[in-house]
Amino acid sequence: MLFIGIDVSKAKLDCSLLLDVSSSKRRAKTVANSKTGVSELLVWCAKQHASNHELHAIMEGTGVYHEQAALALADASVTVSIVNPAQVKDFGRSLGVRTKTDGVDSLVLARYGALLKPRPWTPPAQEARVLQALLSRREAIAQDLQRERNRLEKADATETPSSIRQSILDSIVFLEKQLAKLQQDIDDHINKHPNLKADRELLVSIPAVGPQVGNHLLAVIHNHQFQSAEQLAAYLGLVPIERQSGTSILGRPRLSKAGPARIRAVLYMAAIVGTQHNPHIKALYQRLQERGKTKMSALGAAMRKLVHLCFGVLKTRQPYQPNYAS
């Protein structure tokens, strides 16, 4: 297996094909971040006597710019691993790498793959990718709508020309129609795919998990591979981080907040509802408060418990059972 590190940016892919691990001997190539660029890269790799099935590409999960290249490589039978940028950064420091360039970063990625052998990435199904795109667009429209409503509130509180106020009202009407259409598209898309529909029904069987929370978790779980509820909670940034060293450092545990903030926001509201209406979450929340935990700490645990319940109903393929005791 030959390892190739790919440093991704919006416009280009900086690649390092590692020829020798001990000496870090490599061949470098820069191509456009496009399907044509990936095809050019594979032709170049073949000239270096590296066939597609012998390649293991290592990339960082950086926003959305890595997705097209990762899918194109996977479709070409290249083994792809998408790794955590923070872990790669720490790995580079451990090697004594201080220089920060795209070429050096791609070499660090190649060495990371050769030494640590990260788990291969499996592309999510097409319906999962479409669902994620629809949810992202709905979120953007909802944010735009809220901003326009805030502008209308300010316009009503000040002497605003009627033409400007009417422009804001027209924008609100348009955005409300767009939001309703996107929500209908999301529901139609889920109902059209039996696996998505069945999983959402399991998720919303949990008290405090409504359609929006269910849709967001559905997209996360179907676009990633989680082997346990702990992995899912860690991805969403719900794992507590402790800072303690000797007697001089004794920090209060806090959530890592390493994952998507928008998912944590909907889970936070769901956890608040769960402390009143979900038997498992309510019991946990009350038990932690009786032990002297702060409200925010108990809510963090409630969010984590909610994620565990969601993972549990999908794994067991059974709806939520209020009287279930683990």
* Residue 240, SS3 per DSSP: strand
Same domain, 298 and 228: yes
In whole angstroms, what is the distance from residue 229 CA to residue 206 CA?
Answer: 16
**C-alpha closest to that of 238 among 308, 304, 284:** 304
| 33-42 pLDDT, tens digit each | 999 999 999 9
pLDDT at 250: 52
For residue 144, what pLDDT is reported? Answer: 97
**Euclidean distance between CA atoms 320 and 291, whole angstroms:** 27
pLDDT at 244: 62
Of 116, 142, 162, at which residue does a domain stop? 116
Of 234, 233, 201, 231, nearest in space to 218 by CA: 201
108 and 136 in a single domain? The answer is: no
Helix intervals (H) in the chain: 35-47, 67-75, 85-94, 102-116, 126-157, 162-192, 194-203, 211-223, 229-235, 261-277, 279-290, 295-316
Which residue shows structure tokens 């069945």? 198
Judged by DSSP in three states, 277 sits in helix
For residues 102 and 132, state if they share a domain.
no
What pLDDT, on the 0 to 100 scale, is given for residue 298? 94
Could you tell me if 110 and 137 lie in one domain? no
Which residues in the chain show pLDDT less than 50?
none
- Please check whether residue 41 lies inside any domain of the structure: yes
Q: Are 170 and 234 found together in one domain?
A: no
Q: Of 89, 116, 143, at which residue does a domain stop?
A: 116
Task: Assess if residue 239 is contained within a domain.
Answer: yes
Cα separation, 18 vs 107, whole angstroms: 7
Which H helix or E strand runs over 248? Answer: none
Q: Print the domain residue range for 140.
A: 126-192
pLDDT given at position 196 = 97
**For residues 118 and 102, what is the distance between their CA atoms, to the nearest angstrom?**
21
pLDDT of residue 98: 82
Which pLDDT value is given to residue 249? 54
The number of folded domains in the chain is: 3
243 in a domain, yes or no? yes
Which pair of tokens denotes residue 212?
């929006």
CA 56 to chain centre: 23
Tell me which H or E stretch contains 226. Answer: none
CA–CA distance, 193 with 102 (Å, rounded to integer) = 41
Q: What is the pLDDT of residue 246?
A: 59
- 3/112 Cα distance (integer angstroms): 9
Residue 198 lies in a domain: no
The three-class DSSP label of residue 48 is coil
Give the residue among 74, 69, 77 at the shortest CA–CA distance from 52.
77
Q: Which two tokens stand for residue 43?
A: 């032709």
